[in-house]
Amino acid sequence: QVQQVESGGGSVQAGGSLRLSCAASGYSISTICMGWFRQAPGKEREAVGIIGILGSTRYADSVKGRFAISKDNAKNTLYLQMNSLKPEDTGMYYCVRSSCGALTPRFNDWGQGTQVTVSS
């Protein structure tokens, strides 16, 4: 069964850091591009960034220089390191199999997400 389980969210003050994890099952993340996406209340879901099969990354302009995506193929787990957090980073964060060439999801099998709340 294809599934992603996100964890690691929480409440932090602006300027703080969080590290999110995404445990995938039903497929191997070593063979597919993966992405992080987020959705703030009342807004559409947006891309945070993607990581390619060989580990190359691409980010949305809003998080460049602050966020970093990595993965552990042996653990079949994706990570999102978030530094210098801003209140506008608040939202539900999801991981999903993504396109390799664009900041878009490839499949719509979204998990439950993990909530990130940044206070000013």
* pLDDT tens-place string over residues 39-91: 999 999 999 999 999 999 999 999 999 999 999 999 999 999 999 999 999 99
For the record, the structure tokens of 34 come out as 């993966």
Report the C-alpha gap between 54 and 1 in whole angstroms: 24
Please check the confidence at residue 101 and state whether its pLDDT lies above 90. Answer: no
Paired strand residues for 39: 92
Write the CA distances from 24 to 38, 63, 111, integer angstroms.
17, 23, 10
User: CA nearest 96: which of 41, 54, 38, 11?
Assistant: 38
pLDDT number for residue 10: 98
